[in-house]
Amino acid sequence: MIPVRGYEGARVAVLGLGRSGLATAKALKAGGAEPLVWDDSPDARARAEAEGYTLHDLTRADAWGGITALIVSPGIPHLYPTPNRIIAAAWNAGVPVDNDIGLFFRSFASGEWDHYDSPPRVIAVTGSNGKSTTSALIHHVLSEVGRDSQLAGNIGRGVLDIDPPGDGGVVVLELSSYQTELARALTPDVAILTNLSPDHLDRHGGLGGYFAAKRRLFAEGGPDRAIIGVDEPEGQYLANQMAEGQADDRLIRISAARKLEGVGWSVFARKGFLSEYRKGRQVGSIDLRAIAGLPGAHNHQNACAAYAAVRTLGLAPKVIEKAFHSFQGLPHRSQLVAESGGVRFVNDSKATNADSAAKALAAFKNIRWICGGLEKDGGLGPVAAQLGNVSKAYVIGREAANFALHLGDTPHEVCETMEKAVAQAVADAQEGDIVLLAPAAASFDQYDNFEKRGEDFIAEVTRAIAT
């Protein structure tokens, strides 16, 4: 655990008692604060009270006397589409609002570091797509070479729940826009933006607000190294903002779409080959085509980001390449779950928006595409260019018929349920086909989360190929 510093003897309110909220309360208490907790859910309040925490009704008008700060769980909106009423009350009372990410960065360093040969480092990864795989790949490479590494944030453990790092330890954080937008402290050593595409637009008041939340990690974080995907205009803009000149090697530009020119530091992937350039010449390369855990151009972009990150820590290209080959990928992200009769079944349930689904579709040919769910703002525009890879789409979700209207002339069938979609795709599939779950939509119309959706796909595939 990372004890929270700076609130010794203070009364600190905690709103939201899920995984991060309870970990925050525990870390506040360990640092000498008095956590006062609240959640709209009676069940969550009962669990917290059973663990010994003091409930404090933050909906009362007189709730804010003597409160030093309010710590908010990331899922609670503080501005758009409308401010949460408790957060608005804290504003009116003049109580500073923060989240667990802000507490982590203000509390991470300790006096023990004075005795270390190498201070611990934090690598923070954000972006619309690929941040989980990039974070896990960095952690995997470091673990493979024997470096002390912990994975936390949106993946792995809660940021305040990790162990205090040892000499030379590295903490790899996956950070969503929900986490970066509110944190009052953001000071990573290495910050990564994988890419940017429309997502969570209602939460951020549009694409500009979404980008602004991501940009905070760089503009306010002041990382020693900034690794930025430049395949979108926002990434190009941010890279330009971070660099003092063409040769400023505090910036590493990455791309999975083109060769990057110039005298600066860059890592890019073309036709399955990763290349690293510094000062105008190539200094490293990896053939990514044979790495089973990183299929497709979208994963090659993740590989570029992870490669750049561990290169900043001094790892050699050949060492990184060897570690890449043992990476198995993550569940629900281009995950090969079965193969039967020459047909492969791939679970990419994490493809919850059109851009991530388009990247999954671009990675394969002869696709039997299972798609649909709760549509997000922006429609399916990015998918259109990849529909040539789709032999037939099988649409699930409560609004499957409406979703299917976006598919135009692409052969499709409205299935509504995962059971029917998988059964029909298996019946139609021929040798060499890919049955791909890449929904291009959120899961909440039928499932608690994308993990449950992916697990249902795997269960139905297992049932279908066993009969």
Is 129 known to sit in a ligand binding site? yes
Task: Give which of 188, 192, 187 is closest to 129, Cα–Cα.
Answer: 192
| 133 assigned binding-site residue | yes
Query: Residues of 372-390 as b/e, b for ≥16 C-beta within 10 angstroms?
Result: bbbbbeeebebbeebbebb
Residue 248: count of CB within 10 angstroms of its CB: 13
Q: Is 130 annotated as contributing to ligand binding?
A: yes
Distance, CA of 75 to CA of 119 (rounded, Å): 32
Phi, psi of 463 (to 5 degrees): -65, -45
Taken in order 193, 197, 203, 209, is the CA torsion positive or negative?
A: positive
Q: In whole angstroms, what separates CA 422 from the centre of its chain?
A: 27
334 near 299, Cβ under 8 Å? yes
Q: Is 88 exposed, middle or buried (CB count within 10 Å of its CB: 0-12, 13-18, 19+)?
A: middle
Please, which residues bridge with residue 251 across strands? Answer: 226
DSSP labels, 92-151: HHT--EE-HHHHHHHHS--GGGGG-SS--EEEEEE-SSSHHHHHHHHHHHHHHTT--EEE
266 in a known ligand binding site? no
Sheet with 34-38: strands ordered across: 54-55, 34-38, 11-15, 67-72, 97-98
Distance CA 13, CA 93 (A): 13
Among residues 373, 237, 256, which one has the least CA distance to residue 307?
256
The sheet carrying 434-437 orders its strands as 335-340, 343-347, 434-437, 367-371, 390-396, 412-416
Rg value, the chain, Cα: 23
The terminus-to-terminus CA distance of the chain in angstroms comes to 48
Known binding residue 128? Answer is: yes
Asked whether the beta carbons of 350 and 356 are under 8 A apart, the reply is yes
Q: What per-residue string of b and e applies to 155-184 under the rule 16 or more CB within 10 Å gives b?
A: bbbbbbbbeebeeebbbbbbbbbbbbbbbe
Sign of CA dihedral 87, 89, 90, 91: positive
Backbone angles phi, psi at 174, to 5 degrees: -90, 125
Binding-site residues: 127-133
Binding-site residues for ATP: 127-133
